[in-house]
Structures are given as C-alpha cells and as structure tokens.
Amino acid sequence: MKLKFFSVFTLLAPFCLVAPALAENPAQLKQLRETNKCPQCDLSQANLSGVNLTGADLRGANLVGANLSRANLERASLIGTNLAQVNLSNANLTQALVAGANLIEANLSNANLSSTDLTYANLVGAQLVGSQLNNTDFSAANLAGVDLSGANLNNVNLLGANLTGATGLPLPSLPLETPERSRGRFAPPRTGTPNGREDGATRGGYQPPSRAVPSPQPNDTNRGGYQPPEDIGTPGRTDSGGSRLKPPSTTPQLP
C-alpha cells in the first residue's frame, strides 16, 4: 500500500511543482469594465484588445502579458503599472500618465504615444517601431535596446534617458548652406596680405583688399593719414602747429 502511494505521488509531483500560470482576476476584470477604475488590480494575461479605457485608473495594476492591442487608453493613469511583455500595438495612449511603469519587452509598435508621460519608465527591449512620439516625455527613462525604427520623434524629450543599444535613431541632418550664410555673417574676400603681423596672422580674421592703402610719408603734416588730392596743392605747417591746406597760388611768392 505504501509503495502504491509513493508511486502515485511520484507521478503527480512534477505537476505540483509547476507554478500556476498568471491569469486575470475575473472579479477585478469585471470591476474595470463597469467602473473604468481598478488600481492595484491583477489583470495579468487579460484580453483587453480594442477595449475603450479612456481615462481609466490602472495605477499600480499588474498587466503582465496582457493583450491591449488597439485599446484606447487616452488620458489613462498607468503610473507604476506593470506592463512587462504587454501587447500595446496600435493602441492609443495619447496624454496617458505612464511614469515609472514597467514596460520591459512591451510591444508598442505603431502605438500613439503623443504627449505621453513616460518619465522614469523602464522600456528595456521594448518595440517602438512606427510609433508616434510627438512631444513624448522620456526624461530619465530606460530605453536600452529599444527599436525606434520609423518612429516619429518630433519634439521628444530624452533628457537623461538611457539609449544604450537603441536602434532606429535618426541621424542628425547636415546644413546645406555654408556657416557664414546660415549664421548671417559676412565673409570678407580673401585678397591682399594679412594685416597687423608679419607672420601672416590677422587680427579678427579680416582680410584687406589687394589694393594697398597709401601710408603717410615722413614729411606729411596730416594727422590720421589723410591724403589730399594733388590738384589743391600741398599741405603746409603753420605756427600754431596745426595742419592746413594752402590754395594753389597763381603768382610767384617772394621769399
């Protein structure tokens, strides 16, 4: 008799050691459908595909492995919710609060996450292929290994986010114009010789034109390098020490 009992126990032991599969709580699932509120609920593996959950309160709920594809979660509160391996493909999470949520290996392909708060969220290995990320806040989020291929990253906030191993990030575009034109700065012509130093270094980067500017001669009386035209005579020095011009004389002057 003891041998028979031992044999039966041996056959059933493997089934007893297997952990029970995660499954949603039927009562809590009914509560969500009726009240649109179920914080801290166990909704793991629940089938909520295409369900309208606009503004739903699912803070801290367990939705591991749930099917939320094409679900409407606009303005829903998912703060601290466990969404690991959840299917959110083609779902609408516009303006949803998903701060601090666990989205490890979640499928968010083609989902609308515009203006969604995902600060401090864990999205390691998540799929964001073709998703809408307009004005999405990923501040301090963990995006290691995410796939962003084809995603719209218009005005997305990635301040402090971890993007190690992330793929599909767009490359920065190169300017089509020269820096002088794009910045509105004037580029002087590179003619003439450097001004100011014999070693070719210029002061301020200005290159003077090739036409040399006449420099003052030792007998010049002008201060400041002024060169008078030749048709009005030559400058003369007065008793006061100033610099003036003499008009051309038509009669010879006596010494």
At 240 the pLDDT is 41
Is the residue at 109 inside a domain? yes
At 10 the pLDDT is 42
Is the residue at 24 inside a domain? no
At 24 the pLDDT is 72
CA angle in degrees (0–180, nearest 5) for 128-134-137: 80
At 222 the pLDDT is 46
At 188 the pLDDT is 53
Q: How far is CA 151 from the centre of its chain?
A: 13
Residues with Cβ within 8 Å of residue 92, at least 6 apart in sequence: 71, 72, 73, 74, 111, 112
Is the residue at 198 inside a domain? no
Is the residue at 135 inside a domain? yes
Q: How far apart are CA 88 and CA 53, in angstroms?
A: 13
At 227 the pLDDT is 58
At 190 the pLDDT is 55
Is the residue at 127 inside a domain? yes
The number of domains in the chain is: 1
Residue 156 near residue 170 (C-beta atoms within 8 A)? no
Predicted TM-score (pTM) above 0.85: no
Is the residue at 119 inside a domain? yes
Give the CATH number of the domain where residue 90 resides. 2.160.20.80
At 88 the pLDDT is 98
At 177 the pLDDT is 52
Task: Print the domain residue range for 52.
Answer: 45-169
Measuring CA to CA, which residue among 177, 76, 166 is closest to residue 125? 166
Q: How confident is the prediction along the chain (255 residues), in pLDDT tens digits per residue?
A: 444 444 444 444 443 433 334 567 899 999 999 999 999 999 999 999 999 999 999 999 999 999 999 999 999 999 999 999 999 999 999 999 999 999 999 999 999 999 999 999 999 999 999 999 999 999 999 999 999 999 999 999 999 999 999 999 876 544 555 555 545 554 555 555 445 444 444 445 556 555 555 555 555 444 445 555 555 444 444 444 444 444 455 555 555
Q: How far apart are CA 57 and CA 76, in angstroms?
A: 6
Is the residue at 85 inside a domain? yes
Residue 52 to residues 72, 90, 94, 140, 215: CA-CA distances in angstroms?
5, 13, 13, 30, 85
| Residue 119: CB atoms within 10 Å | 20
CA angle in degrees (0–180, nearest 5) for 74-53-59: 85
> Quick one: tokens of 87?
């299917």
> Quick one: tokens of 191?
């003619």
Residue carrying the six token digits 């008793």: 239
